[in-house]
Every structure is written in structure tokens, then in C-alpha cells.
């Protein structure tokens, strides 16, 4: 570490979409950051701009194995996991292992170092919800043996283990339930709606909408999300907190909006809805507003324009 008085933050999954933005935020807030990633879905390009920064180091490591970090550690932010349907359906065992063994190893490090631990959980713990919008008190409607269960149950287990370490070992923990997020550094082919729609529209290909497109998501720009996560990290709140934008939109309307913003001549085509795909998704962010004084501020259109420009730059 360049400065022994700097707080030391460890970010697992630090080369991923959210993890890399989190590294930027923590460094901007005065932390020394150790990013750990096995690059199974992360990309070294996401953190290449930090190489040479005296407040950053990268460790290529699989966190389902023993984690060794020298010196003191103040914060551990556990963001390692495949996070898109294409990834966790392609990597089901790895997804389960990082949610279980990886969480166990990261919590063990937090216990050993006396560090504050923040778990990146997900709105997927609510499954295909029967309550709308979804408050943190809702227990969810999840198919544990369905294809998506490998991700949903890995995150539900990770939450249970985090709370067990908090109650039994006294580890200082935080749990953020992340709703759909978009922005620069998403992988173009990661299978989620916005990168799929944008990449297809920019190429002039048909834009693929699943089902009849009536299923909804609430999409949050990445800078807003990272701000909310940081506020939770430095708060005193130990119960789960939803972070996401309440701006709900159907997938068909989102596809139409992206075609308009890209000035594409793409047509919309419909394909069969994947099994157990949630029909609605919107966070109840009352707790985030009350406890963290946080609310998403980026409007969807300017956020999408920033994201479109990023993808356009990746295609040239």
C-alpha cells in the first residue's frame, strides 16, 4: 500500500462490469483497492486504466480457493459471480461454487481481518415475484431446480451465510440486492436485454424480444447503483437493502426506445420466453431512500445514450 493510513478495500470480481466501477469509486473515495478476479466472465480491459495507479493492485485468483491478503483489510466487497443468464447457464457449477464456497472464503477473510463485508446479492432472490414492487421483506418465489436456480439459490445461500457470520461470528456485514443495471463496460454478448438490443440495433440486425415483450424490468444506470452501494457500505445498516431504479418499462418498449436512439432500421422479432423468466421486476426502494438518502437520478434516455456510445466505440 502506498499510504498506510489508507483504508484497504478488497473487491472480488473486480474486473467485472460492476466490480470495476466499484474499484473506481473506492479509489476516488481514498481507498487502496485490491481487485481479485479469475477472469471467467470479467475482462482485464475494464481495469486496465487503473494499472500504474499507486492505490490499486490486481490479483488473478479463483476465490473458491483459499484467499491470502497481506496486511490489514478494512472492507471486503464480494462481487464475484457470473451474473447474466447466458453466463450462469453456461457455468452452472461455477456459479453455485462462487456463491457458496466463494462467499465462505470471503467471509472467512473478513472474520480474520476484522473487515466490514458487503455482499452483492440480487433481485433474483425474489424469483418470479408474486408481490409488486418487491420490498426487502418479501421472501420470493424461486424454482430451486429450474435452470435459473443455480444463480437464484447461490445468491440466497450467500445471503444466509452472510447473516450467519454476522449473528454467530459478529462479522460486520452489509447486503445489497441489486436490480437490473446497465452502462459502459457491459459485455456486448452477455445476453441481458440492453446489451443485446443495443448491439443488434447498431449492427442493423433484427432485435430479439422474448415472449410478447410485456414482461417488465426497472433499469438503473451504473453510476447511480455504485453510489447507492457505497452509501450502504459506509452506513450502519446490516439488513438487506434494494438498490435500483423504480422506472419500470416493458421489454418491447425498451427495444423500441433503443432502436429509436440508435437510429437503426432494425425490426423487432419475437422468440419463446425462457423458462422461469420473471414477468415483472421493480424494486421497492423505500429503505434506500430512508436509510441511505439515496435515489436513482439518471433518466433512462441519457443513460441509454451513454451506453450506446460505449458499445459503438467497442465495435470500431
> Do residues 144 and 271 share a domain?
no
> Do residues 150 and 30 share a domain?
yes
Q: What is the mean pLDDT of residues 30-44?
A: 97
E-strand spans in the chain? Answer: 8-12, 32-37, 56-60, 75-78, 116-122, 173-178, 181-182, 207-210, 216-218, 220-221, 241-243, 248-250, 268-271
Would you call 151 a catalytic residue per the annotation? Answer: yes
> Do residues 172 and 198 share a domain?
no
Q: What is the mean pLDDT of residues 35-53?
A: 97
Residue 39 domain-assigned?
yes
> Do residues 137 and 242 share a domain?
yes
Residue 3 domain-assigned?
no
> Do residues 169 and 231 share a domain?
yes
Q: Which of 75, 126, 151, 230 is catalytic?
A: 151
* Domain of residue 130, residue span: 8-181+221-246+283-297
Q: What is the mean pLDDT of residues 4-33?
A: 97
Summarize pLDDT for 68-110 with one digit per residue, the tens.
Answer: 999 999 999 999 999 998 999 999 999 999 999 999 999 999 9
> Do residues 89 and 202 share a domain?
no
Q: Give pLDDT, residue 311.
A: 96
Residue 32 domain-assigned?
yes
> Do residues 164 and 15 share a domain?
yes
Q: Give pLDDT, residue 1.
A: 59
Q: Give pLDDT, residue 315.
A: 87
| Helix segments in 170-240, DSSP class H | 193-203, 222-233
C-beta contacts of 131-134 below 8 A and 24+ residues apart: 132/280, 132/282, 133/218, 133/246, 133/282, 133/283, 133/284, 134/242, 134/281, 134/282, 134/283, 134/284
pTM for the full model? 0.96
Residue 115 domain-assigned?
yes
Summarize pLDDT for 215-234 with one digit per residue, the tens.
Answer: 999 999 999 999 999 999 99
| CATH number of domain containing 126 | 3.40.50.720
Q: What is the mean pLDDT of residues 268-274?
A: 91
Q: What is the mean pLDDT of residues 23-27?
A: 98
> Do residues 205 and 79 share a domain?
no
Q: How many structural domains comprise the chain?
A: 2
Band of residue 277 on the pLDDT scale cut at 50, 70, 90: confident
Summarize pLDDT for 106-136 with one digit per residue, the tens.
Answer: 999 999 999 999 999 999 999 999 999 999 9
Summarize pLDDT for 139-170 with one digit per residue, the tens.
Answer: 999 999 999 999 999 999 999 999 999 999 99
Residue 145 domain-assigned?
yes
| CATH number of domain containing 208 | 3.90.25.10
27 neighbors 11 (Cβ within 8 angstroms): no
> Do residues 122 and 40 share a domain?
yes
Amino acid at each position: 500500500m502506498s499510504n498506510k493510513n489508507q483504508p484497504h478495500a478488497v473487491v472480488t470480481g473486480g474486473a467485472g462490469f460492476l466490480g470495476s466501477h466499484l474499484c473506481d469509486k473506492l479509489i476516488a473515495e481514498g481507498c487502496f483497492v485490491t481487485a481479485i478476479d479469475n477472469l471467467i466472465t470479467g475482462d482485464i480491459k475494464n481495469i486496465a486504466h487503473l494499472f500504474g495507479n499507486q492505490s490499486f493492485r490486481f490479483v488473478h485468483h479463483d476465490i473458491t480457493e483459499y484467499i491470502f491478503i497481506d496486511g490489514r483489510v478494512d472492507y471486503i466487497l464480494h462481487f464475484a459471480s457470473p451474473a447474466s443468464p447466458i453466463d450462469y447457464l453456461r457455468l452452472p457449477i461455477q456459479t453455485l461454487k462462487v456463491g457458496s464456497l466463494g462467499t465462505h472464503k470471503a467471509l472467512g477473510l473478513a472474520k480474520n481481518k476484522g473487515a466490514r463485508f458487503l455482499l452483492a446479492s440480487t433481485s433474483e432472490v425474489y424469483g418470479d415475484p408474486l408481490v409488486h414492487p418487491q420490498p426487502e421483506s418479501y421472501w420470493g418465489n424461486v424454482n430451486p431446480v429450474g435452470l435459473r436456480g443455480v444463480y437464484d439459490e447461490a445468491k440466497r445461500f450467500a445471503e444466509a451465510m452472510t447473516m450467519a457470520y454476522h449473528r454467530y461470528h459478529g462479522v460486520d456485514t452489509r447486503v445489497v440486492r441489486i436490480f437490473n443495471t446497465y452502462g459502459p463496460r457491459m459485455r456486448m454478448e452477455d445476453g441481458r436485454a440492453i446489451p443485446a438490443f443495443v448491439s443488434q440495433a447498431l449492427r442493423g440486425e433484427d432485435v430479439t424480444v422474448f415472449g410478447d415483450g410485456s414482461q417488465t424490468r426497472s433499469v438503473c444506470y451504473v453510476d447511480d447503483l455504485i453510489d447507492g452501494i457505497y452509501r450502504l457500505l459506509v452506513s450502519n445498516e446490516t439488513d438487506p437493502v434494494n438498490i435500483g431504479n423504480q422506472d419500470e418499462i416493458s421489454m418491447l418498449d425498451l427495444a423500441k426506445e433503443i432502436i429509436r436512439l440508435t437510429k437503426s432500421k432494425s425490426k423487432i422479432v419475437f422468440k419463446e420466453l425462457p423458462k422461469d423468466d420473471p414477468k415483472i421486476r421493480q424494486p421497492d426502494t423505500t429503505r434506500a431512500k430512508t436509510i441511505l438518502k439515496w435515489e436513482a437520478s439518471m433518466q433512462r434516455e441519457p443513460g441509454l445514450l451513454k451506453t450506446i456510445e460505449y458499445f459503438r466505440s467497442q465495435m470500431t
